[in-house]
Structure 1
Amino acid sequence: MRKFTVWVVSLALIFSALILPPLTFAASDALVVGDKAYPVYQRGVYYSAWAEVEGSVHVKISAGGVSEEKDITADGKKLLVVYRKVDEGNWQYKLLPAGPDKNIPRDTTFIVKRDPAGAIVPGTKVTFYVYTTRREIATLQMKMVKYGWKAEDAPASPSEKEEKTYTLNKVGQTDDGLLDVWTLQIPFADVGLYEYYFYGYDGTFKRMFKGDYRVTVYKPDFSVPQWIKGAVVYQIFPDRFRNGDTSNDPAEGKTFTFHDYYLNVDEKEPSDFLGVPKYTVPWDAPVMAWDTIGGQCRYVDTTRYYGGDLKGIIESLDYLKSLGVDVLYINPIFPAPSTHRYDPTSYHAVDPILGDLDTFKTLVSEAKKRGMKIILDVTPDHSSDRSLYFDSQGEFSTVGAHESQDSPYYSWYKFIEWPDKYQGWAGLGWMPTINVLDKGFQKFFLTDDNSVVKFWNGAGAMGWRVDVAMIIPTGFLKEYREAIKAINPDAVLVAEVWNKPKEVIPMLLGDQMDTVMNYRFAAATVVDWDNDHEGTKPSAQGFFLNKNMSSTEFWQKIDAIYNDYPSAVHDALWNLVDSHDMARPLYFLKDKNALKALSALQIMFKGAPTIFYGDEAGATNAGEKGCKDDRPLANDPFMRVPYPWGHEDKDLIAWYSSLNALRHQYDAVKEGKMVHFSANNDRILAFARIGDGKEVFVFINPDGEERADVVADALGYVKDGTYAPTIGSGDMTVENGKISLGTMKPYEVRVYTMDYAPSYNDVSYNVSFADGKIAVTPDDTPIVKVTDNTIGQTYTLVTDKTFYPRGGHTYTVTVYKQDKGLITGKYQVTLQGEGEDAVDPIYKSKTGSTSEGPVLNMSISDPEGDDYGPGTYTYPTNAVFKPGDFDLL
């Protein structure tokens, strides 16, 4: 056991001055407080020193040739930490808690990191690093919760919960001396969603630390069909897109017949909704929520049709192809009493107002000729009360569940008291909820020879967007996946789910959905629609609305999305900024140029950009509230405006088309890696898409203000030189990884494309710690990244390789060979810091309570001396002492 010698002079000295100097301690460097001197430590890329102070004191600090004096006033006893980076001249001063005070402030620093980040597969070990204000917390515990779902549980409602408690180990402080570092490693054995939170203790005081802390563990064989990855998705609300056949336009008194291909019967479609007859209005008529019908103020959007149909979509396929669309996602096309058709009358028919089965098959074949696929929209959770299966009005030849308890459909529905008291979606009687776990329904929907999924797969549909998937029992979603993949492994399942990760993740573990409507992207860019329909609350505003949000905060939101979800899903996420349920972005942004900037981000981003019909033509929320003012224009139905045929913003269409064309031209944009960079202006977004031998750099100014002298740091990703823009104006100049763009105009977007084919050879370097440096041979100006695995800190060193390893710490050193700023090779080695570190250990006071001070843990149970008073003793390190071992105690 290694020993050291200390001179014990007094109790105060024990608790405030005994510190083991690391090998790098320089005697000429010191922190002087009044008449007492304390050592300055060289740790990582920092100088750091600390001392306990109280009241007003004069402080002098000297290290690395930089001296400074300052007067400090501490309110009570505090720990003064003085620090600076070795390559900077400014000293920083921070007053921290001196020790336990039986209180942990709400605003104390609390930072959580994990390695590896992102979703993981079973068997992965995760190391957690937690950084807290130094000396603020004496004990730190983690509560880990694993959620479980029974077959009847919806993703949003797990009924099983398994909890474990872990105590973290304090391993030291950050290199600057400001934060305590706590670590814990956990192996994750099972697929599932894990959430965790923390309790910090200071004596008897306890504080909870909660955040968006979770771990996703998914099935290793989870895969997503290739064709949906990076695809441009175009959402069509069929009644409002294009009228290609006026003969099927609704009118009061006009009846329509549909053929149900499961029962093989013809039936008449309901001609009204809640007593209001269906009728067609001119294409340029404003959307209306309420109108006076028969002397009563009635909600009319559900019966007020514009005449859009499948033939209209077929007539628009060439336009959609020129726009760059790969996938048509069409809102429900089943017969239904309403315009939105989320209340289906039949699952085996096309609404005759839209066309018929032959029309749909023509749409599929014509789309296929143009390289496009069709995804349909379905709601297995509920039907119409006026469906073949419920038949509340006795309109059909079938015997519905509402008509008889002997009906073959009776067990499908959730009756509380038959026939008129039953569960409905959102409590609405006209959309009775279906028991999707009923064996009869599952046979009908999934497994029968002519089941819903088999029928529409045979008609050419390539997948389904599943309405309100987050409230559908997971047992059904698993059966749904098995059934559709057995029919067509290339079929895609997409979940409607809003921006609550806890509802999304259970569906993306590999046994339910392929991907989701990524409303979290909409929340990060425009607005958190769940919490603010108007977009006026700063807390709910996304980056383009909240001008106080920095690019760093934005990227944190984006990184959280990709860290939560399995990598197989990343390129398939439906990145949307609006939908039939969410206000159009132009309603919030007001400025077409702002929409251009937003659409550039959306289309150049990792995932599948999902465009709501008409956004590209300048459509925005509009209409009349009518006889009842119960909703803002931001709400349903005012985003469902007719496509502005004849009044399109052709400049905006050309913009969307050029972005989509670039996406199709470069696989780097479609499925490549995405790397984001920091810029000198924290409102500029800078990122690159990399892959298939190409790089595409994107820079966006989201604001109506000019940004001068824009510089971004992309060292290692781009070679020195000057690059002309592919989109936008103004060259990009690069020197040593620094990108200079000059002035970016309001809402300006710039895109630069270049070859990216570094050899990225395996290279070899000799790497060692020597005299406060990382010695790298040969020294061909490599980029060096140093990660302290003990405390989880990482530094990138380019020209100055000054670095002071800490004793006992383990470092991963990665050396990147570069050619004029572009990485061409990589070498990695693990090194150990020699000696022992200067830490702030826990010690025990005489009363047995936990305390802390700048001394080493020492055991004096067997000292080499004659007595326990003042004198010279030698003690082993990394041990503890107990009251009574010194006479002084």
Structure 2
Amino acid sequence: MINKRILVAGIAVTMLLTACKTKDLKMNAAQEEVLTDKKIVVYQVFTRLFGNKNTTNKPWGTIEENGVGKFNDFTDKALHEIKDLGVTYIWYTGVPHHALVRDYTAYGISNDDPEVVKGRAGSPYAVKDYYNVNPDLAVDPAHRLEEFEALITRTHKAGLKLIIDIVPNHIARKYEGKNNPEGVRDFGAGDDVQVEYSRNNNFYYIPNEHFQIPDGDVPLNGEKNPLVDGVFDENPAKWTGNGSRKVKPDQNDWYETVKVNYGIRPDGSKDFPELPAGFDQKSYAEHFAFWQDKDVPDSWKKFKSIALYWTAKGVDGFRYDMAEMVPYEFWSYMNSAIKMKNPDAFLLAEVYNPNEYRNYIRLGKMDYLYDKVETYDKLKDIIRGKSSTDGLSEIQIRIQDIEHHMLHFLDNHDEQRLASPEFAGTPERGKPLMVVSTTISTSPTMVYFGQEVGEAGNENAGFGTHSRTSIFDYIGVPNHQRWMNDGKFDGGQLSESEKSLRDFYKRLLNFSIKSSALMGNFQEVQSVNLQTNTGYHDLLYSYVRWSDNQKLIVVANFSSEKTSEFELKIPSDVISKWKLKDGSYVLLDQLYLQNKTYFTVKNGVGLARVKIGPSESFIYEVE
């Protein structure tokens, strides 16, 4: 029986989405600047883990015990295989030098106190020196920057572009810029530490108070270390990265970091020039011009210098951590400067407040934002049995004016692995989610390394918890390591099911980056089929995508148990837009080029006989 609530919602969706066409939307200057002809696919790799061949996986293991990947592990062969998967950008996560527990004093690097480091390998979001890279990632730490520069060259040679992280909201508790370019002063070097706030201070202070280590965490799982003494020398104490103003942060605070001051007073008011009305319609060049004669806080200048430093080295863009904790006026200032140097720069932000999406895109000049709160969360709820597909179309309504800017993903370093029991449960159950996530809009698609071979994040790495591949520990990634095959990067150790899964991803992603329809128009056909089709249920989802020369019908079955057979109805308004005459047409599934069915148009309405198995999806092209 069809759910009445779904019927009512479906009727509303039909009314709202009947004319939803991406290319017909009125776009402002910011949107026009980033529209691309083809889909973008980002492959995120946790750089420290990607090339690690060691399979010991001892909790809290050292490099010697558990191993670590290097820049040099991204060989020409590895990069070729990544590109061949259907990837256009690679995001090297964890490249800037961050705090970690390992002795590199022979290279002029000070030791970090384990009491303000998460895990042994450290969080990549506690950056210690923005002008150099993580020494763990180099074969020769003395030449770590040169090794990364060589990787930039190899990446471009492979036909890929690359992005790295910038973490603007916070930095490591013990930041030491030992590689600053000439004229660049270290963070906090000129701060007035006698006051809580000053506009040009880089940090917020708790005057006359010593920082205290939080209770709860046991550094290095209790292992002895000369720096583990219950004290970290920070006087006066600084605000913690997540905004905690306590001298002694909570265990769950971002205690390994300190918050950067961007000219936001402690009461939340802004202490810098604001963008005039109408600047949400201005281009990045106009934003850049606006800031040329403005006096801005010192932290703004420091981070702009960092971004332009890496841009000059050939980095093609950035992923900004927790961007919404930094004012969008700063993003206007920095992003417009980046775009003036590289108009094609790829600027991706982690933003979770839907009410602020348009500000960060239009005023902050971001190209792309995480589509977590809307599409990701909805798909996760569906596969976990907490929701039907009801609501996916409403999401498309809510974000139709910015849909191109909302990057889609199902897996990343922060989230539970798609194949984990806490998410989809199996890689196969994740397949329909991946098809919908990739094909429902013109937005970029992101895949996290190992996702394409079913990595489930089962390891007990130490500080990190299972279901997520640890970002704090030295650890191996088993499924990925089987594909890596001791550095051959040929999938030689994969099981047959893992090979089949990777083939699915390869087919889907390569189709997506070549399809003109996926950069064209969207219309859901879900509601009409729920209303009129007795064989159609609410764990199915269907929609059409089209361009001038390609017409697609996408059908996904989120049920992992039920095979469904029905006549999919394509309503008359779609048939009219497609300019199809009455008659019979062939539908060929573009994922495997094997499943074929027939599509009949009669009296201006289309019907297609569909039989779809558990966790199966079709991307039918009208021939």
TM range (shorter): 0.5 to 0.7
Distance in 1 between the 2:170 and 2:585 partners?
58
Q: Deviations over 1:17-58 (max 9, x none)?
A: xxxxxxxxxxxxxxxxxxxxxxxxxxxxxxxxxxxxxxxxxx
Distance in 1 between the 2:361 and 2:328 partners?
11
Aligned residue for 2:336, secondary structure, equals helix
**Does structure 1 residue 424 correspond to structure 2 residue 266?**
no
Residue 708 (structure 1) aligns with: 565
Match of 1:331 among 72, 75, 93: 93
Distance in 2 between the 1:526 and 1:636 partners?
23
Distance in 2 between the 1:497 and 1:509 partners?
14
Residue 49 (structure 2) aligns with: 240
Match of 1:673 among 491, 511, 521: 521
Match of 1:748 among 610, 616, 620: 616
Match of 2:204 among 414, 425, 428: 414
| 1:663 partner amino acid | S
CA RMSD of aligned residues (A): 3.9
**Does structure 1 residue 477 correspond to structure 2 residue 331?**
yes
Note closer, same or farther for the CA distance 1:601–1:440 as it changes in structure 2 (3 Å cut): same
Distance in 2 between the 1:709 and 1:347 partners?
57
Residue 311 (structure 1) aligns with: 72
| 1:312 partner amino acid | D
Q: Deviations over 1:768-814 (max 9, x none)?
A: xxxxxxxxxxxxxxxxxxxxxxxxxxxxxxxxxxxxxxxxxxxxxxx
| 1:721 partner amino acid | S
Residue 350 (structure 1) aligns with: 133
Distance in 1 between the 2:15 and 2:522 partners?
21
Provide TM-score, normalisation by structure 2: 0.67
* Structure 1 residue 241 displacement after superposition: 1.1
Q: Deviations over 1:66-103 (max 9, x none)?
A: xxxxxxxxxxxxxxxxxxxxxxxxxxxxxxxxxxxxxx
* Structure 1 residue 358 displacement after superposition: 2.6
- The 5-angstrom pairing of residues 494-513 of structure 1 reads 494-498=348-352, 500-513=353-366
- Deviating above 6 A after TM superposition, structure 1's stretches of 4 or more consecutive aligned residues are 110-120, 300-305, 406-410
Contact 2:543 2:555 in 1 (8 A): yes
Aligned residue for 1:739, secondary structure, equals strand
Aligned residues with identical type, % of pairs: 19
Contact 2:172 2:258 in 1 (8 A): yes
Aligned residue for 2:399, secondary structure, equals helix
Contact 2:39 2:513 in 1 (8 A): no
Distance in 2 between the 1:547 and 1:743 partners?
25
Residue 259 (structure 1) aligns with: none
Note closer, same or farther for the CA distance 1:634–1:379 as it changes in structure 2 (3 Å cut): closer
* Structure 1 residue 482 displacement after superposition: 2.2
Residue 571 (structure 1) aligns with: 404
| 2:379 partner amino acid | V
Aligned residue for 1:735, secondary structure, equals strand
**Does structure 1 residue 616 correspond to structure 2 residue 482?**
no
Residue 100 (structure 1) aligns with: none
**Does structure 1 residue 583 correspond to structure 2 residue 416?**
yes
Q: Deviations over 1:599-638 (max 9, x none)?
A: 2222223211110111001111211276x9x966469659
Contact 1:119 1:218 in 2 (8 A): no
| 2:299 partner amino acid | F
**Does structure 1 residue 385 correspond to structure 2 residue 147?**
no
Distance in 1 between the 2:344 and 2:17 partners?
34
* Structure 1 residue 557 displacement after superposition: 2.8
Contact 1:684 1:702 in 2 (8 A): yes
Match of 1:734 among 578, 583, 600: 600
Distance in 1 between the 2:332 and 2:507 partners?
40
Note closer, same or farther for the CA distance 1:714–1:305 as it changes in structure 2 (3 Å cut): farther
Distance in 1 between the 2:13 and 2:609 partners?
34
- The 5-angstrom pairing of residues 40-79 of structure 1 reads none
Note closer, same or farther for the CA distance 1:223–1:301 as it changes in structure 2 (3 Å cut): farther
Distance in 2 between the 1:380 and 1:302 partners?
29
* Structure 1 residue 507 displacement after superposition: 0.6
* Structure 1 residue 430 displacement after superposition: 2.5
Contact 1:401 1:409 in 2 (8 A): no
Contact 1:119 1:217 in 2 (8 A): no
Q: Deviations over 1:295-333 (max 9, x none)?
A: xxxxx8999974122222344101101101001112131
Match of 1:371 among 138, 156, 159: 159
Q: Which blocks of at least 5 consecutive residues in structure 1 are unaligned?
A: 1-109, 121-215, 244-281, 292-299, 392-397, 528-540, 756-889
Note closer, same or farther for the CA distance 1:634–1:375 as it changes in structure 2 (3 Å cut): closer
Q: Deviations over 1:398-443 (max 9, x none)?
A: 9874898589999211112152321111244431111134633323
Distance in 1 between the 2:466 and 2:424 partners?
16
**Does structure 1 residue 687 correspond to structure 2 residue 543?**
yes
Structure possessing the higher radius of gyration over alpha carbons: 1
Aligned residue for 2:256, secondary structure, equals coil
Match of 1:546 among 385, 410, 427: 385
**Does structure 1 residue 725 correspond to structure 2 residue 602?**
no
Note closer, same or farther for the CA distance 1:333–1:305 as it changes in structure 2 (3 Å cut): farther
Note closer, same or farther for the CA distance 1:581–1:357 as it changes in structure 2 (3 Å cut): same
Distance in 1 between the 2:455 and 2:129 partners?
32
Match of 1:603 among 438, 454, 473: 438
Provide TM-score, normalisation by structure 1: 0.48
| 1:416 partner amino acid | I
Residue 218 (structure 2) aligns with: none
Aligned residue for 1:346, secondary structure, equals strand
Distance in 1 between the 2:91 and 2:440 partners?
19
Q: Deviations over 1:141-179 (max 9, x none)?
A: xxxxxxxxxxxxxxxxxxxxxxxxxxxxxxxxxxxxxxx
Note closer, same or farther for the CA distance 1:413–1:284 as it changes in structure 2 (3 Å cut): same
Note closer, same or farther for the CA distance 1:366–1:411 as it changes in structure 2 (3 Å cut): same
Contact 1:401 1:410 in 2 (8 A): no
Distance in 1 between the 2:504 and 2:192 partners?
58
Aligned residue for 1:574, secondary structure, equals strand
| 1:432 partner amino acid | V
* Structure 1 residue 690 displacement after superposition: 0.9
**Does structure 1 residue 658 correspond to structure 2 residue 507?**
yes
Residue 285 (structure 1) aligns with: 56
Distance in 2 between the 1:638 and 1:381 partners?
19
- The 5-angstrom pairing of residues 78-93 of structure 1 reads none
Note closer, same or farther for the CA distance 1:461–1:287 as it changes in structure 2 (3 Å cut): farther
Aligned residue for 1:516, secondary structure, equals strand
- The 5-angstrom pairing of residues 192-203 of structure 1 reads none
Contact 2:79 2:155 in 1 (8 A): yes
Residue 266 (structure 2) aligns with: none
Note closer, same or farther for the CA distance 1:362–1:413 as it changes in structure 2 (3 Å cut): same
Residue 19 (structure 1) aligns with: none
Between Structure 1 and Structure 2, the one with more helix by share is 2
Contact 2:201 2:261 in 1 (8 A): yes
Aligned residue for 1:380, secondary structure, equals coil
Contact 1:222 1:510 in 2 (8 A): no
Distance in 2 between the 1:688 and 1:115 partners?
12
- The 5-angstrom pairing of residues 178-217 of structure 1 reads none
Aligned residue for 2:171, secondary structure, equals coil
Aligned residue for 1:512, secondary structure, equals coil
Distance in 2 between the 1:501 and 1:217 partners?
20
Contact 1:703 1:747 in 2 (8 A): yes
Residue 443 (structure 1) aligns with: 301
Q: Deviations over 1:206-257 (max 9, x none)?
A: xxxxxxxxxx9985554333459620111111111114xxxxxxxxxxxxxx
Distance in 2 between the 1:454 and 1:305 partners?
35
Note closer, same or farther for the CA distance 1:229–1:360 as it changes in structure 2 (3 Å cut): farther
Note closer, same or farther for the CA distance 1:224–1:309 as it changes in structure 2 (3 Å cut): farther
Contact 2:13 2:393 in 1 (8 A): no
Paired residues in the alignment total 471
Between Structure 1 and Structure 2, the one with more strand by share is 1
